[in-house]
C-alpha cells in the first residue's frame, strides 16, 4: 500500500559549506539553508574554507561563497577548489552584488557554477542550489570512495605533499607514526618533520623528479620531538599539471 511518508533521501538535501566573512549574513544564510534541511558547515573566509575541506572526510555537496573576503577571496577559493582533485567536482555558487560584472567574469573563468545577488532571496538561493546540484553529481563517484578506503587502509605511513612542500594528505598510519592528527599534519610543511637538512631534502626531490623515485633511510621527527628512523620511498606524479609527491614510510625496527 502506498503511503504519504516523505522519502528519507529527499528529506535531507545534503551538506553545504558556506563561506562568508560577515557574521550576521553568515548566520542568516545558514538559518535559511537549515530551514530547507541542509546541513551547514561555515567558514569566515577562503583560507578557513580550504582548511575545513582538507580536514573533511565527508565532502559537502556544494560550496556557497562570498566574493569579497579577507585573506582569500571567493574567486581564489574557487580556483583552489577546481584545481584540487578531491574537490574539483564540487559546484561553487558565488554571492555577489549587482555591480560585480568584472568579478562575474573572473568567477566564471575560475569555475563558478552560478551566482546569487545580495541581499540573498530565499527562493532564489534554493533554486540556484537545486539547479547546480542537478547539473552534475556533486558526490564523489563510488570509485573515488573505493580509492579513499584503500588509501586509509594502507599499513605503511603515506604522506602526500605538493610542489610547495605542504602536506595535502596523510593516511591514519602516518598519524599514528608521527603523533599528529591528519588535520595537524595538513598545517605543516614537509621540511618541518625531517631531521635531514633542507639541502638533503631538495637533493632527494630533484632525484625523484629526474628518476621518478627514490628509496633509502631517513630520520623524521615525532610530535614530541623524538627521532624516528624509517625506510622511505618517494615517488612523484602530476595532478592538473602540478607535481605531487608521495612518500611511504616504514619504521626501522
Confidence of residue 212 (pLDDT cuts 50, 70, 90): confident
Confidence of residue 44 (pLDDT cuts 50, 70, 90): very high
pLDDT of residue 55: 79
For 75, the grid coordinates are 574567486
Strand order across the 242-251 sheet: 167-170, 157-162, 242-251, 227-239, 213-221
Least confident range of 30-44, 78-92, 99-113, 151-165: 99-113
Greater pLDDT, 134 or 63: 63
At 94, phi and psi to the nearest 5? -100, 140
**Are 202 and 163 spatial neighbours (Cβ–Cβ below 8 Å)?**
no
**CA–CA gap between residue 178 and residue 159 (Å, rounded):** 11
pLDDT tops 90 at residue 252: yes
pLDDT tops 80 at residue 9: no
Q: 146 Cβ partners below 8 Å, 6+ apart? A: none
Q: Within the chain, what is the greatest distance between any pair of CA atoms?
A: 73
Confidence of residue 100 (pLDDT cuts 50, 70, 90): low
pLDDT tens, residue by residue, 105-126: 777 888 898 888 888 888 889 9
Query: What percentage of residues in the chain have a pLDDT greater than 70?
Result: 87
pLDDT tops 80 at residue 57: no
Average the pLDDT over 214-228 and give the result. 91
Domain annotation for the chain: domains and CATH numbers: 8-134 (3.40.50.2300), 142-251 (3.30.450.20)
pLDDT tops 90 at residue 49: yes
At 113, phi and psi to the nearest 5? -85, -30
Average the pLDDT over 212-241 and give the result. 87
Confidence of residue 12 (pLDDT cuts 50, 70, 90): low
CA-based nearest residue to 18, from 130, 98, 125: 125
pLDDT of residue 11: 44
pLDDT of residue 144: 54
**CA–CA gap between residue 185 and residue 93 (Å, rounded):** 29
HEC sequence for the chain: CCCCCCCHHHHCCEEEEEECCCHHHHHHHHHHHHHCCEEEEEECCHHHHHHHHHHCCCCCCEEEEECCCCCCCHHHHHHHHHHCCCCCCCCEEEEECCCCHHHHHHHHHHCCCEEEECCCCHHHHHHHHHHHHHCCCCCCCHHHHHHHHHHHHCCCEEEEEECCCEEEEECHHHHHHHCCCHHHHCCCEHHHCECCCHHHHHHHHHHHHHHCEEEEEEEEECCCCCEEEEEEEEEEEEECCEEEEEEEEEECC
Least confident range of 11-15, 92-96, 152-156: 11-15
Average the pLDDT over 231-247 and give the result. 83
Average the pLDDT over 62-87 and give the result. 89
pLDDT of residue 138: 47
Query: What percentage of residues in the chain have a pLDDT greater than 90?
Result: 36
CA-based nearest residue to 222, from 174, 168, 153, 171: 174
Amino acid at each position: 500500500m502506498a503511503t504519504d511518508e516523505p522519502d528519507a533521501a529527499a528529506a535531507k538535501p545534503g551538506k553545504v559549506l558556506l563561506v562568508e566573512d560577515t557574521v550576521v549574513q553568515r548566520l542568516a544564510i545558514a538559518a535559511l539553508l537549515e530551514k530547507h534541511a541542509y546541513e551547514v558547515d561555515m567558514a569566515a573566509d577562503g583560507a578557513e574554507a580550504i582548511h575545513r575541506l582538507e580536514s573533511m572526510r565527508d565532502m559537502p555537496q556544494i560550496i556557497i561563497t562570498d566574493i569579497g573576503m579577507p585573506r582569500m577571496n571567493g574567486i581564489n577559493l574557487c580556483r583552489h577548489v577546481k584545481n584540487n582533485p578531491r574537490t574539483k567536482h564540487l559546484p561553487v555558487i558565488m554571492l555577489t552584488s549587482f555591480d560585480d560584472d568584472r568579478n562575474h567574469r573572473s568567477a566564471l573563468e575560475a569555475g563558478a557554477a552560478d551566482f546569487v545577488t545580495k541581499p540573498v532571496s530565499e527562493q532564489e538561493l534554493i533554486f540556484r542550489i537545486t539547479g547546480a546540484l542537478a547539473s552534475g553529481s556533486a558526490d564523489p563517484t563510488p570509485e573515488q570512495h573505493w580509492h579513499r578506503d584503500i588509501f586509509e587502509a594502507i599499513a605503511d605511513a603515506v604522506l602526500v605533499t605538493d610542489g610547495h612542500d605542504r602536506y595535502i594528505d596523510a593516511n591514519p598510519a602516518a598519524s599514528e607514526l608521527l603523533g599528529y592528527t591528519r588535520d595537524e599534519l595538513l598545517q605543516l610543511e614537509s621540511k618541518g618533520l625531517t631531521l635531514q637538512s633542507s639541502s638533503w631534502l631538495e637533493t632527494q626531490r630533484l632525484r625523484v623528479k629526474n628518476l621518478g623515485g627514490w628509496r633509502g633511510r631517513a630520520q623524521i621527527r615525532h610530535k614530541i620531538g623524538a627521532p624516528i628512523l624509517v625506510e622511505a620511498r618517494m615517488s612523484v606524479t602530476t595532478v592538473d599539471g602540478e607535481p605531487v609527491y608521495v612518500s611511504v614510510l616504514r619504521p626501522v625496527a
